Amino acid sequence: MDESVVMQRIIERAQSLNQTVALPEAADPRTIHAGRMAQDANIADVILVGNPDQIASLAKSEGVDLAGIEIVDPDDPEQHATNAALYYDLRKHKGISEADAAGIASDPLYAATLLLKREIVDCTVQGAVHSTPDVLRALFQIIGAAEGISLASSCFVMTTPLEDMGVNGAFIYADAGVNPNPTAEQLADIAISSAESTRVYLEAEPKVAMLSFSTMGSAKHPDVDKVIEATRIANEKRPDLLIEGELQGDAAIVPEVAASKCPQSKIAGRANTLIFPDLGAGNIAYKLTQRLARAGAYGPLLQGLAKVGMDLSRGATAADICNVCAIAAVRATAP
Protein backbone atom coordinates (compact mmCIF):
# COMPACT_ATOMS: atom_id res chain seq x y z
CA MET A 1 0.00 0.00 0.00
CA ASP A 2 1.31 3.43 -0.91
CA GLU A 3 1.92 5.43 2.25
CA SER A 4 0.13 8.41 0.73
CA VAL A 5 -3.06 6.31 0.51
CA VAL A 6 -2.97 5.56 4.24
CA MET A 7 -2.25 9.15 5.19
CA GLN A 8 -4.82 10.61 2.81
CA ARG A 9 -7.49 8.35 4.28
CA ILE A 10 -6.54 9.45 7.81
CA ILE A 11 -6.66 13.12 6.76
CA GLU A 12 -10.08 12.66 5.16
CA ARG A 13 -11.40 11.05 8.33
CA ALA A 14 -9.92 13.80 10.51
CA GLN A 15 -11.60 16.46 8.37
CA SER A 16 -15.01 15.06 9.29
CA LEU A 17 -14.43 14.84 13.05
CA ASN A 18 -14.21 18.47 14.28
CA GLN A 19 -11.50 17.74 16.84
CA THR A 20 -9.38 20.29 18.69
CA VAL A 21 -5.62 19.83 18.99
CA ALA A 22 -3.23 21.68 21.28
CA LEU A 23 0.30 22.42 20.05
CA PRO A 24 2.51 23.49 22.98
CA GLU A 25 5.76 24.03 21.04
CA ALA A 26 4.54 27.28 19.52
CA ALA A 27 7.91 28.96 20.00
CA ASP A 28 9.21 26.76 17.17
CA PRO A 29 8.60 27.88 13.55
CA ARG A 30 7.66 24.37 12.41
CA THR A 31 4.77 24.31 14.89
CA ILE A 32 3.49 27.69 13.74
CA HIS A 33 3.47 26.53 10.10
CA ALA A 34 1.94 23.15 11.01
CA GLY A 35 -0.83 24.83 12.96
CA ARG A 36 -1.71 26.98 9.98
CA MET A 37 -1.64 23.97 7.66
CA ALA A 38 -3.87 21.88 9.94
CA GLN A 39 -6.34 24.72 10.41
CA ASP A 40 -6.51 25.53 6.69
CA ALA A 41 -6.97 21.86 5.76
CA ASN A 42 -9.80 21.49 8.32
CA ILE A 43 -7.86 18.68 9.96
CA ALA A 44 -8.55 20.14 13.41
CA ASP A 45 -9.20 23.34 15.27
CA VAL A 46 -5.75 24.39 16.46
CA ILE A 47 -4.84 25.88 19.82
CA LEU A 48 -1.29 27.16 20.19
CA VAL A 49 -0.11 27.10 23.79
CA GLY A 50 2.51 29.65 24.80
CA ASN A 51 3.30 33.31 25.25
CA PRO A 52 0.99 35.28 22.91
CA ASP A 53 3.50 38.05 22.20
CA GLN A 54 6.24 35.58 21.38
CA ILE A 55 3.92 33.55 19.15
CA ALA A 56 2.67 36.65 17.33
CA SER A 57 6.22 37.87 16.78
CA LEU A 58 7.37 34.51 15.45
CA ALA A 59 4.33 34.20 13.18
CA LYS A 60 5.00 37.65 11.75
CA SER A 61 8.64 36.84 11.06
CA GLU A 62 7.61 33.55 9.42
CA GLY A 63 4.87 35.18 7.36
CA VAL A 64 2.15 33.07 8.96
CA ASP A 65 -1.34 34.50 9.45
CA LEU A 66 -2.79 33.34 12.78
CA ALA A 67 -6.39 34.24 11.92
CA GLY A 68 -8.77 31.60 13.26
CA ILE A 69 -6.14 29.97 15.47
CA GLU A 70 -6.66 30.29 19.21
CA ILE A 71 -3.72 31.05 21.50
CA VAL A 72 -3.79 29.96 25.13
CA ASP A 73 -1.34 31.68 27.47
CA PRO A 74 -0.31 29.34 30.32
CA ASP A 75 0.25 32.44 32.48
CA ASP A 76 -3.20 33.89 31.90
CA PRO A 77 -4.42 34.27 35.51
CA GLU A 78 -7.60 32.23 35.10
CA GLN A 79 -5.99 29.45 33.06
CA HIS A 80 -2.96 29.32 35.31
CA ALA A 81 -4.97 29.11 38.51
CA THR A 82 -7.14 26.30 37.18
CA ASN A 83 -4.21 24.32 35.75
CA ALA A 84 -2.06 24.77 38.86
CA ALA A 85 -4.87 23.61 41.15
CA LEU A 86 -5.52 20.57 38.95
CA TYR A 87 -1.85 19.61 38.75
CA TYR A 88 -1.48 19.99 42.52
CA ASP A 89 -4.51 17.76 43.08
CA LEU A 90 -3.10 15.12 40.72
CA ARG A 91 0.41 15.11 42.19
CA LYS A 92 0.08 16.08 45.86
CA HIS A 93 0.30 12.40 46.85
CA LYS A 94 3.84 12.53 45.42
CA GLY A 95 4.72 15.38 47.76
CA ILE A 96 4.58 18.26 45.30
CA SER A 97 3.94 21.69 46.81
CA GLU A 98 1.41 24.23 45.58
CA ALA A 99 4.30 26.52 44.64
CA ASP A 100 5.89 23.78 42.53
CA ALA A 101 2.54 23.07 40.86
CA ALA A 102 2.18 26.75 40.01
CA GLY A 103 5.61 26.75 38.36
CA ILE A 104 4.91 23.61 36.34
CA ALA A 105 1.55 24.97 35.17
CA SER A 106 3.42 27.79 33.41
CA ASP A 107 5.26 25.29 31.19
CA PRO A 108 3.44 25.10 27.82
CA LEU A 109 4.01 21.33 27.59
CA TYR A 110 2.30 20.74 30.93
CA ALA A 111 -0.30 23.45 30.30
CA ALA A 112 -1.37 21.75 27.06
CA THR A 113 -1.56 18.37 28.79
CA LEU A 114 -3.69 19.90 31.54
CA LEU A 115 -6.02 21.30 28.86
CA LEU A 116 -6.30 17.73 27.61
CA LYS A 117 -7.13 16.48 31.09
CA ARG A 118 -9.77 19.21 31.41
CA GLU A 119 -11.23 18.19 28.02
CA ILE A 120 -10.70 21.68 26.62
CA VAL A 121 -8.86 19.95 23.76
CA ASP A 122 -9.26 16.47 22.31
CA CYS A 123 -5.58 15.72 21.75
CA THR A 124 -2.09 17.16 21.97
CA VAL A 125 0.89 16.91 19.60
CA GLN A 126 4.42 17.66 20.77
CA GLY A 127 7.99 16.37 20.61
CA ALA A 128 9.55 18.44 17.84
CA VAL A 129 11.36 20.36 20.59
CA HIS A 130 10.93 18.22 23.71
CA SER A 131 12.49 14.78 24.12
CA THR A 132 10.32 11.68 24.28
CA PRO A 133 10.99 11.25 28.04
CA ASP A 134 9.81 14.83 28.63
CA VAL A 135 6.65 14.27 26.60
CA LEU A 136 5.91 10.95 28.30
CA ARG A 137 6.54 12.38 31.76
CA ALA A 138 3.88 15.05 31.30
CA LEU A 139 1.40 12.57 29.84
CA PHE A 140 2.00 9.92 32.51
CA GLN A 141 1.71 12.40 35.37
CA ILE A 142 -1.45 14.08 34.13
CA ILE A 143 -3.25 11.62 31.83
CA GLY A 144 -2.04 8.14 32.75
CA ALA A 145 -2.67 4.82 31.07
CA ALA A 146 -6.00 3.67 29.66
CA GLU A 147 -8.22 1.52 31.84
CA GLY A 148 -6.91 -2.02 32.04
CA ILE A 149 -3.56 -1.12 30.46
CA SER A 150 -0.43 -1.04 32.59
CA LEU A 151 1.72 1.21 30.42
CA ALA A 152 1.84 3.45 27.41
CA SER A 153 3.65 2.13 24.36
CA SER A 154 4.11 3.09 20.74
CA CYS A 155 3.45 1.69 17.31
CA PHE A 156 4.47 2.38 13.75
CA VAL A 157 2.16 2.27 10.77
CA MET A 158 4.27 0.55 8.12
CA THR A 159 3.20 0.72 4.48
CA THR A 160 4.86 -1.66 2.02
CA PRO A 161 4.31 -2.37 -1.69
CA LEU A 162 3.49 -6.03 -0.85
CA GLU A 163 -0.27 -5.80 -1.20
CA ASP A 164 -0.81 -9.53 -0.61
CA MET A 165 0.44 -9.12 2.97
CA GLY A 166 -0.99 -7.39 6.00
CA VAL A 167 -3.77 -4.94 5.10
CA ASN A 168 -3.01 -4.37 1.43
CA GLY A 169 0.66 -4.13 2.39
CA ALA A 170 0.20 -2.15 5.60
CA PHE A 171 1.11 -3.34 9.10
CA ILE A 172 1.24 -2.17 12.69
CA TYR A 173 4.65 -2.71 14.35
CA ALA A 174 4.99 -2.42 18.15
CA ASP A 175 6.69 -1.48 20.36
CA ALA A 176 9.54 0.10 18.42
CA GLY A 177 9.88 3.39 20.27
CA VAL A 178 9.23 3.40 24.02
CA ASN A 179 9.68 0.25 26.17
CA PRO A 180 13.15 -1.36 26.03
CA ASN A 181 12.45 -4.71 27.69
CA PRO A 182 8.79 -5.21 28.55
CA THR A 183 7.69 -7.92 30.97
CA ALA A 184 5.20 -10.54 29.86
CA GLU A 185 2.37 -8.50 31.41
CA GLN A 186 3.53 -5.34 29.65
CA LEU A 187 3.99 -7.15 26.35
CA ALA A 188 0.40 -8.37 26.63
CA ASP A 189 -0.80 -4.79 27.09
CA ILE A 190 1.27 -3.66 24.11
CA ALA A 191 -0.47 -6.31 22.02
CA ILE A 192 -3.92 -5.18 23.17
CA SER A 193 -3.15 -1.50 22.54
CA SER A 194 -1.72 -2.34 19.12
CA ALA A 195 -4.83 -4.28 18.14
CA GLU A 196 -6.81 -1.09 18.75
CA SER A 197 -4.29 0.84 16.64
CA THR A 198 -4.89 -1.58 13.77
CA ARG A 199 -8.61 -0.93 13.97
CA VAL A 200 -8.13 2.83 14.16
CA TYR A 201 -5.38 3.42 11.59
CA LEU A 202 -5.79 0.55 9.14
CA GLU A 203 -9.57 0.14 9.55
CA ALA A 204 -9.13 -3.63 9.71
CA GLU A 205 -9.83 -6.46 12.12
CA PRO A 206 -6.54 -7.05 13.98
CA LYS A 207 -4.64 -10.29 13.55
CA VAL A 208 -1.92 -10.00 16.17
CA ALA A 209 1.27 -12.07 16.02
CA MET A 210 3.48 -12.27 19.12
CA LEU A 211 6.90 -12.61 17.53
CA SER A 212 9.84 -14.71 18.70
CA PHE A 213 12.67 -16.82 17.32
CA SER A 214 10.45 -19.82 18.05
CA THR A 215 7.19 -20.98 16.46
CA MET A 216 4.76 -22.84 18.70
CA GLY A 217 7.38 -24.57 20.82
CA SER A 218 10.12 -25.07 18.21
CA ALA A 219 12.72 -23.62 20.61
CA LYS A 220 13.14 -23.44 24.36
CA HIS A 221 14.49 -20.34 26.07
CA PRO A 222 13.41 -17.86 28.79
CA ASP A 223 12.89 -15.23 26.07
CA VAL A 224 10.47 -17.58 24.34
CA ASP A 225 8.74 -18.27 27.63
CA LYS A 226 8.10 -14.53 28.05
CA VAL A 227 6.32 -14.35 24.70
CA ILE A 228 4.27 -17.47 25.47
CA GLU A 229 3.22 -16.00 28.81
CA ALA A 230 2.43 -12.62 27.23
CA THR A 231 0.21 -14.35 24.69
CA ARG A 232 -1.62 -16.22 27.45
CA ILE A 233 -2.20 -13.01 29.43
CA ALA A 234 -3.37 -11.07 26.39
CA ASN A 235 -5.87 -13.78 25.45
CA GLU A 236 -7.11 -13.96 29.02
CA LYS A 237 -7.64 -10.19 29.17
CA ARG A 238 -9.12 -9.86 25.69
CA PRO A 239 -10.53 -13.18 24.46
CA ASP A 240 -12.39 -11.25 21.75
CA LEU A 241 -9.12 -10.45 19.97
CA LEU A 242 -7.14 -12.75 17.69
CA ILE A 243 -3.73 -12.75 19.38
CA GLU A 244 -1.44 -15.68 18.65
CA GLY A 245 2.08 -16.70 19.55
CA GLU A 246 4.81 -17.48 19.75
CA LEU A 247 5.48 -17.09 16.04
CA GLN A 248 8.57 -16.47 13.94
CA GLY A 249 8.31 -13.58 11.52
CA ASP A 250 7.83 -15.73 8.42
CA ALA A 251 5.20 -17.90 10.09
CA ALA A 252 3.31 -14.74 10.98
CA ILE A 253 3.09 -13.20 7.51
CA VAL A 254 3.63 -15.98 4.92
CA PRO A 255 0.71 -18.43 4.59
CA GLU A 256 2.86 -21.17 3.04
CA VAL A 257 5.33 -21.03 5.94
CA ALA A 258 2.52 -20.98 8.48
CA ALA A 259 0.95 -24.04 6.86
CA SER A 260 4.25 -25.89 7.31
CA LYS A 261 5.38 -24.62 10.73
CA CYS A 262 2.05 -24.14 12.52
CA PRO A 263 -0.86 -25.63 10.58
CA GLN A 264 -3.12 -25.10 13.61
CA SER A 265 -2.60 -21.32 13.48
CA LYS A 266 -5.77 -19.22 13.20
CA ILE A 267 -3.77 -16.31 11.80
CA ALA A 268 -2.39 -18.69 9.16
CA GLY A 269 0.32 -16.35 7.93
CA ARG A 270 -2.06 -13.37 7.58
CA ALA A 271 -0.93 -11.23 10.53
CA ASN A 272 -1.35 -7.48 10.20
CA THR A 273 -0.13 -6.55 13.68
CA LEU A 274 3.40 -7.57 14.69
CA ILE A 275 4.42 -7.44 18.36
CA PHE A 276 8.17 -7.60 18.94
CA PRO A 277 9.58 -9.10 22.14
CA ASP A 278 11.65 -6.01 22.96
CA LEU A 279 12.55 -2.55 21.73
CA GLY A 280 15.75 -3.72 20.07
CA ALA A 281 13.93 -6.19 17.82
CA GLY A 282 11.14 -3.74 17.02
CA ASN A 283 13.37 -0.79 16.26
CA ILE A 284 15.73 -2.84 14.07
CA ALA A 285 12.81 -4.44 12.21
CA TYR A 286 11.01 -1.20 11.39
CA LYS A 287 14.17 0.48 10.13
CA LEU A 288 15.14 -2.51 7.98
CA THR A 289 11.61 -2.76 6.60
CA GLN A 290 11.66 0.95 5.83
CA ARG A 291 14.95 0.77 3.96
CA LEU A 292 14.96 -2.68 2.35
CA ALA A 293 11.29 -2.77 1.38
CA ARG A 294 11.17 0.98 0.69
CA ALA A 295 8.31 1.10 3.17
CA GLY A 296 6.63 4.12 4.67
CA ALA A 297 6.93 4.43 8.45
CA TYR A 298 4.59 6.64 10.50
CA GLY A 299 5.50 6.84 14.16
CA PRO A 300 6.28 6.25 16.85
CA LEU A 301 2.61 6.84 17.65
CA LEU A 302 1.79 6.71 21.34
CA GLN A 303 -0.92 4.27 22.41
CA GLY A 304 -2.36 2.95 25.66
CA LEU A 305 -3.04 6.37 27.22
CA ALA A 306 -6.35 7.42 28.77
CA LYS A 307 -6.44 10.40 26.40
CA VAL A 308 -4.58 11.13 23.17
CA GLY A 309 -1.18 12.76 23.31
CA MET A 310 1.22 12.24 20.41
CA ASP A 311 4.99 12.43 20.37
CA LEU A 312 7.05 13.67 17.42
CA SER A 313 10.55 13.13 16.18
CA ARG A 314 12.71 16.15 16.89
CA GLY A 315 13.54 16.11 13.20
CA ALA A 316 9.86 16.49 12.28
CA THR A 317 8.95 18.91 9.51
CA ALA A 318 5.88 21.15 9.56
CA ALA A 319 4.18 18.66 7.21
CA ASP A 320 5.03 15.80 9.59
CA ILE A 321 3.48 17.70 12.50
CA CYS A 322 0.36 18.43 10.46
CA ASN A 323 0.03 14.73 9.58
CA VAL A 324 0.36 13.72 13.22
CA CYS A 325 -2.39 16.22 14.07
CA ALA A 326 -4.63 14.24 11.70
CA ILE A 327 -3.55 10.95 13.25
CA ALA A 328 -4.23 12.32 16.75
CA ALA A 329 -7.68 13.57 15.72
CA VAL A 330 -8.64 10.16 14.36
CA ARG A 331 -7.28 8.39 17.43
CA ALA A 332 -9.16 10.72 19.77
CA THR A 333 -12.52 9.61 18.40
CA ALA A 334 -11.82 5.87 18.67
CA PRO A 335 -14.03 3.97 21.14
Which CATH number characterizes residue 27's domain?
A: 3.40.50.10950
- The closest of 215, 181, 196 to 272, measured between CA atoms, is 196
Q: Tell me, what CATH number does 234's domain have?
A: 3.40.50.10750
Output the pLDDT for position 2. Answer: 65
pLDDT under 70: residue ranges of the chain: 1-3
- The closest of 310, 305, 30, 297 to 170, measured between CA atoms, is 297
Q: How far apart are CA 301 and CA 244, in angstroms?
A: 23
Output the pLDDT for position 96. Answer: 95
Statement to judge: residues 220 and 267 lie in one domain: yes
Statement to judge: residues 236 and 181 lie in one domain: yes
Statement to judge: residues 198 and 287 lie in one domain: yes
The residue range of the domain holding 234 is 153-297
- The closest of 334, 224, 182, 205 to 272, measured between CA atoms, is 205
Statement to judge: residues 128 and 203 lie in one domain: no
Output the pLDDT for position 3. Answer: 63
Mapped onto helix, strand or coil, the DSSP state of residue 156 is strand
Output the pLDDT for position 224. Answer: 96
CA-based torsion, 304, 306, 307, 312: positive or negative: negative
Output the pLDDT for position 249. Answer: 97
- Give per-residue burial for 251-264: e unless 16+ CB within 10 Å, then b: bbbbeebbeebbee
Statement to judge: residues 277 and 327 lie in one domain: no
Q: CA angle, 140 as apex, 134 and 146 as ends, to 5°?
A: 140
- The closest of 39, 18, 26 to 74, measured between CA atoms, is 26
Indicate the DSSP class of residue 146: P
Output the pLDDT for position 1. Answer: 62
Q: How far apart are CA 39 and CA 25, in angstroms?
A: 16
Output the pLDDT for position 6. Answer: 86
Asked if residue 199 lies in contact with residue 303, where contact means CB atoms within 8 angstroms, the answer is: no
Statement to judge: residues 210 and 247 lie in one domain: yes
pLDDT in tens, 153-203: 999 999 999 999 999 999 999 999 899 999 999 999 999 999 999 999 999
Q: Is the pTM of this model over 0.85?
A: yes
